[in-house]
Amino acid sequence: MYSLYLKLLVILLVLLPAGCARVPQPASYPFSRQKKMQSVYHWDVLAQDIAGQVMAVVEAKLVDSEKTCIVVNPDSTVFGQAFAQLLNAHLLKDLDGLPVSEQGFFSLSAIPNPACIQVQYEAQVIKHRTDRSARVYPGTWTVLTGAIAVMHDFAWYEALLGTGVLADLTGGIQEAMSHNEVLITTKIVRKNMLVSLWTNMYYINDRDDWHYREEEKLPLKQFNLVTDDNLSKVNLL
User: In 3-state terms, what secondary structure has residue 198?
Assistant: strand
User: For the structural domain made of 40-129+178-214, what CATH number should be given?
Assistant: 3.40.120
pLDDT at residue 229, rounded to an integer = 57
The answer to whether 9 and 146 have CB atoms below 8 angstroms apart is: no
Domain positions in the chain are: 40-129+178-214, 133-175
Q: Which amino acid is at 138?
A: P
DSSP per-residue codes, 91-121:
HHHHHHTS-HHHHTTEEE-SS--TTSEEEEE
DSSP state at residue 177: -
Mean pLDDT computed over 99-108: 76
**pLDDT tens digits along 110-145:** 888 888 899 999 999 999 888 776 654 444 433 434
Could you give the CA distance from residue 166 to residue 175 in angstroms, rounded to a whole number?
Answer: 17
**pLDDT for the residue 40:** 94
Cα dist from 42 to 37, 89, 154, whole Å: 6, 15, 53
Cα(162)–Cα(146) distance, rounded to whole angstroms? 9
Helix (H, G, I), strand (E, B) or coil at 15: helix
pLDDT of residue 220: 59
pLDDT for the residue numbered 87 = 95
Query: Which pLDDT does position 77 carry in this prediction?
Result: 93
Model pLDDT for residues 8-47, shown as the tens digit of each residue? 666 666 555 555 667 788 887 787 888 899 999 999 999 9
Q: What is the pLDDT of residue 29?
A: 79
Question: Whole-angstrom Cα distance, residue 89 to residue 95?
Answer: 10
Measured at the CA of 100, the angle between CA 95 and CA 101, to 5 degrees, comes to 110
The pLDDT of 192-211, averaged and rounded, is 92
